Amino acid sequence: MFGTIVGAILLFFILSSPICGYLDSIAIKFVSLKIPDSVCIGRDKYTIAVKVGEIMVLGDSRVGVHFEAPDSGYYLFKYEAGAYTFHKYSSTQPTWTTGVNIVYGKEITWKNGGPENVVKRFADKGYFLSDTDAEIEAEGEMFKYYLKKGEIITFIAVDGYDTYSDNEGYVKISCYFVSEEHTVIKDN
C-alpha cells in the first residue's frame, strides 16, 4: 500500500513537470488479477483448471464421500496425499494402498462383499508395506470425468462390505473444474 502511494505521488510530480506539459490527461487504472490453481495435463497442451475443492476419503467408511457437480463440464480429480491400511498391525504383509473406488450416484450396490457399480478404480497401485511407499507410487495420478450439473459420484475406499471398521488412514483428492475454454496449446 505504501509503495502505491509513493508511486502515485511520484507520478503526479512527473506529470506536473514542464517535460510532460504536452499531456492533456492520463488515466490510471489498478487491476487485480487472481490466478487460479492450475494443473498441467499431458505433454502437448496445458489445461488450466479451477480448483473446486478437496475430497477426503476415509479408509474406514463404507459410505464414501459424495461429490455433486456444481456445473456441467469436465472435472479433473488428482491424487494429493495419504494412504490407508486394511490391517494396521501387520509389518510383514503389504496392506497399505491409495486405491479408491468411484461409483456413479449416491447409492452403492454391494455384491459378493464389494461395490458392484464401480465406474473407475482410481490411484490403485497395489499394496505396500508402508503408507509412504503407497503415496510415492500414486503421486501424480489423475483422471478426468464429465458430469452434468447436479450429478453425483461417490468416492469410497477399496475393501469388503463388512471389513471397513478396522481400516486406518485416508486418501486426499483435489477436484478441479476443467472447461474447454481454459485449454491452451503449448508452444514449442
Query: pLDDT tens-digit profile of 45-74?
Result: 556 678 899 999 999 999 999 999 999 999
Sign of CA pseudo-dihedral 165, 167, 172, 175: negative
pTM: 0.70
DSSP 8-class letter at 18: G
For residue 75, what pLDDT band results from cuts at 50, 70 and 90? very high
**CATH assignment of 45-185?**
2.60.120
Residue ranges covered by each domain of the chain: 45-185
pLDDT score of 80 more than 70: yes
CA distance 72 to 91: 45
Four-residue CA torsion sign, 94, 96, 100, 106: positive
What sections of 67-166 are H helices per DSSP?
131-138
Rounded CA-CA distance 186/46 in Å is 6
pLDDT digits (tens, 9 = 90+) for 135-174: 999 998 999 999 999 999 999 999 988 889 989 999 999 9
Between residues 19 and 97, which one has the greater pLDDT? Answer: 97
pLDDT given for residue 136 in this prediction: 95
